[in-house]
Amino acid sequence: MRIVIASDSFKESLGALGVCRAIADGVRDAAPDADVTLCPMADGGEGTVEALVDATDGRRLTATVSGPLGDPVEAMWGMLGERSQTDGMPTTVVEMAAASGLPLLPTERRNPLLTSTYGTGQLVAAALNEGAGRIILGIGGSATTDGGAGCAQAVGVRFRDRAGCDLSDGLAGGSLSDIASVDVTGRDPRLADCEIQVACDVDNPLCGPRGAAAVYGPQKGATPAMVEQLDGGLAHLADVIAHDLGRDVRDMPGAGAAGGLGAGLVAFLGATLRPGIDIVTEAVGLADRLAGADLVITGEGRLDAQSMMGKVVYGVGKVAKDAGVPAVAICGSIGEGATASLALIRGYFSIVNRPMSLDDALADAPRLLREAAANVVRTFAGRPAV
């Protein structure tokens, strides 16, 4: 019996590889002769670097870059292993949160008028220095609302004021209205030969009532007055981009992701916005791994209605259904709307097997996962418990 284990992390408990290993232990308890393949997964958000590196036997790398407020931070990124490079294109994976993320700032220092994505651009440059032909860029969890201007500066894009003077590196949300023109002639030439795929799972436009500032600004520390200023700055940036680059990003779905970084990556770096789970399943070659499998076990920390909006159980279930391989999910908890997942998977199970606190479930997750996986495999294979 061949079983593929393709699970997300259980946040605050185990990373994706740890979850897969615990499930594998349970599989072998129930079926010692099983051929087990581990494929750690993510949905393009937090943990994507770790999951893709682990799934492809890649390398973890670090770079010292500028944090959201300019303080140096040590950011992890990754080079994927050869099994992800079937087209011969070296692939790297970067999370903008590692350089420009909200968790890097204490609450009292959060101010999107002052924060910049410059460090994210430095990570892109580091990936280019490593020979990347493809960059997978996760953009969740930003502390910024700079329209990607800071990121663009780090790879050679220049912004000028009305006097024709270059604006300083590290452009922040509060300075967007100072931009009079944009010049991409000095952009890193290696970007022309590099494919940038951006994991983007929102459809917000750049500005307006559903834009980056209005929807996400308050959680980054923006007051109502700041939201108005930021929204005006993003609208101004959209006008400059349209005039100087001939690209209309104002109403592009996903333009407002990560404080407008979605728009900036498309306009300044030539990136493509795609659902994160689609990028990940392709990068790890999930469809090929499922060929000839008898069962795939997936999972995530909580299975509920949101799981079918592009999370791991949805992505794995979709690939498995297309491949004709039955899939089941083992999750930390089951919430409202979980039954929607049955359109793609055969069933779902919680690891919580008795009354317990959340702290106890998090601490005991390896054993609980192992026991749940053993029960699933015994049921699937028709084997009695020992």
- Helix H, strand E, coil C: the string for 162-194 is CCCCECCCCCCHHHHHHCCEEECCCCCHHHHHC
Alpha-carbon distance of 250 to 223, in angstroms, equals 23
Judged by DSSP in three states, 196 sits in: strand
| Domains, in order of start, for the chain | 2-41+285-381 (3.40.50.10350), 48-276 (3.90.1510.10)
Average of per-residue pLDDT across 9-27:
94
pLDDT of residue 83: 53
Here the tokens at position 123 are 């990570």
pLDDT of residue 86: 55
Q: Token match 């949160």: residue?
A: 97
Alpha-carbon distance of 363 to 252, in angstroms, equals 43
Alpha-carbon distance of 210 to 228, in angstroms, equals 13
Judged by DSSP in three states, 111 sits in: coil
Core vs surface per residue 218-255: b (16+ CB within 10 A) or e: eebbbeeebbebbbebbbbbbebbeebeebebbebebb
Lowest mean pLDDT among 85-94, 109-118, 193-202, 244-253: 85-94
**Residue 29: Cβ-neighbour burial (10 angstroms; 0-12, 13-18, 19+):** middle
Which amino acid makes up residue 47?
Answer: G
Q: Which residues pair with 299 in a beta bridge?
A: 7
Here the tokens at position 366 are 């390896």
Residue 84 has pLDDT above 70, yes or no: no
Please write the tens of the pLDDT for every residue from 149-195: 999 999 999 999 999 999 999 999 999 999 999 999 999 999 999 99
Which amino acid makes up residue 90?
Answer: P
Please write the tens of the pLDDT for every residue from 44-79: 988 999 999 999 999 999 999 999 999 999 999 999
Strand pairing class (327-331; 134-138): unpaired
Q: Residue 63 gets which letter from DSSP?
A: E
Give Cα separations from 37 to 28, 288, 292, 357, 371 (angstroms): 12, 12, 12, 32, 18
Alpha-carbon distance of 234 to 63, in angstroms, equals 29
Alpha-carbon distance of 6 to 315, in angstroms, equals 10
Alpha-carbon distance of 119 to 99, in angstroms, equals 5
Alpha-carbon distance of 80 to 343, in angstroms, equals 32
Q: Which residues lie below 8 Å from residue 300, measured CB to CB, with a gap of 6+?
A: 7, 8, 9, 10, 307, 311, 312, 313, 329, 331, 332
Residue 386 has pLDDT above 70, yes or no: no
Where would I find the H helices in 247-352? 257-269, 276-283, 286-290, 312-323
Alpha-carbon distance of 295 to 77, in angstroms, equals 32
Please write the tens of the pLDDT for every residue from 197-215: 999 989 999 999 999 999 9
Lowest mean pLDDT among 121-125, 259-263, 350-354: 350-354
